[in-house]
Structure 1
């Protein structure tokens, strides 16, 4: 099995750990994070099964374009609910609207939304940049609250670290797809993507294990 094929097992392990420790955050907006993790797992294993057991060949960019857009929207909403500083909340809301507009414009007029559509690198990159800025606002806020005293046991800290590492590192490689499309099928690409996913899902898993129950 290739390195890219192993990613779905990282996702599965993370979703299982999220389920085991679900009571820690079940009363918060983070509960939908677990639902999305299992949704991602379901999509990944379904696509794998269709390809390897039924020999069905299809273009999966369409699925990933929709899936990544849903994930971005959820993350922006998550930080909008968690961040308390009014000025920061307005910025996150603006980022959310800007991302939705970028996806809409891209779907309608640039890269399209069809079964044969290419990977939507433009809105993905815009979403990554805006999400990195959002996470930066979150980090700035917790530095000025009592949460900084127990940040290692704060689930959102670990989720934020994982997202920050992944999206910061992946931007150059997503941009390169427009100029070096053959790079996507190289072994270097596979190693990079697997490593980034390992770091991200590793942070999520650590967060589920070491975090304390979120207060109401």
Structure 2
């Protein structure tokens, strides 16, 4: 692995450690699912590195990861939103994503698009959450809410992953610089997570 890859992996582990020790600080419905998401990321990245070390193709590992990744995100933003219309939208698009995901094992070419489709869908979930936050009294204290910083990190990662995945899978352009950019974005994403976990106010439902 190169230095930037090592750093991005280290930040993922650091987020996992900080999230583990923050469980008592954030006893709110969505937080457990965020913690599961981070644990999943660390486990998959660790196993992926082991497989690559033995020169084993890890593509199927990441295909299965995609299912749990986007469904966990759907649950997170279901828990974070309150409006009935938001819940209907999240439920509908999550079902649509899962249909596309399972169809991709029949129509294999779809696997080139599932991550892009998933990124667009979950980004819309995050926008629904931010819209509700903006229209609530909680907006006054947004900088002290861990869910805000987690959403900033997620948006940073998933909105930038859309063009990255499009260039790599659809256009077929492979570039070392693109992977450097991706790992740099991962580091920024986890910095948002860590900042939010450390500096946000305690929340108990």
Q: Is TM-score (shorter-chain normalized) higher than 0.5?
A: yes
122, 133, 143: which one aligns with 1:152: 143
Shift of 1:26: 3.7
User: Once the 2 structures are TM-superposed, how far is the Cα of residue 75 of structure 1 from its aligned partner?
Assistant: 0.7
* 1:73-106: CA deviation from partner (whole Å, max 9, x where unpaired): 0111111122111111111111111111110111
Conserved? CA contact 2:93–2:121, under 8 Å: yes
Deviation at 1:45, TM superposition (A): 2.2
**Structure 1 residue ranges, 4+ long, deviating more than 4 angstroms after superposition:** none
Check the 8 A contact 2:51/2:57 in 1, yes or no: no
Deviates more, 1:165-174 or 1:4-13: 4-13
* 1:157-201 deviation line (CA, Å, top 9, x unaligned): 111111111111111110112344351xx3211211111101211
| Alpha-carbon separation, structure 1, partners of 2:11 and 2:63 | 21
Cα distance, 1:68 vs structure 2: 2.2
Which position in structure 2 is the counterpart of 1:117? none
Match of 2:43 in 1: 42
Task: Indicate the residue corresponding to 1:24 in structure 2.
Answer: 25
Alignment correspondent of 2:165: 174
With 172-181 and 120-129 compared, the bigger mean Cα shift is at: 172-181
SS in 2 for 1:163: helix
TM-score by length of 2: 0.91
Q: Which moved more, 1:170-179 or 1:41-50?
A: 41-50
Residue in 2 that maps onto 1:116: none
Q: Distance in 2 between matches of 1:36 and 1:133?
A: 18
Q: Where does 1:191-210 land on structure 2 (aligned, <5 Å)? A: 191-210=180-199
Q: How many pairs align?
A: 204
Tell me the secondary structure at the aligned position of residue 22 of structure 1.
coil
Q: Take 1:88 and 1:42, find their aligned partners in 2: how far apart are those partners?
A: 31
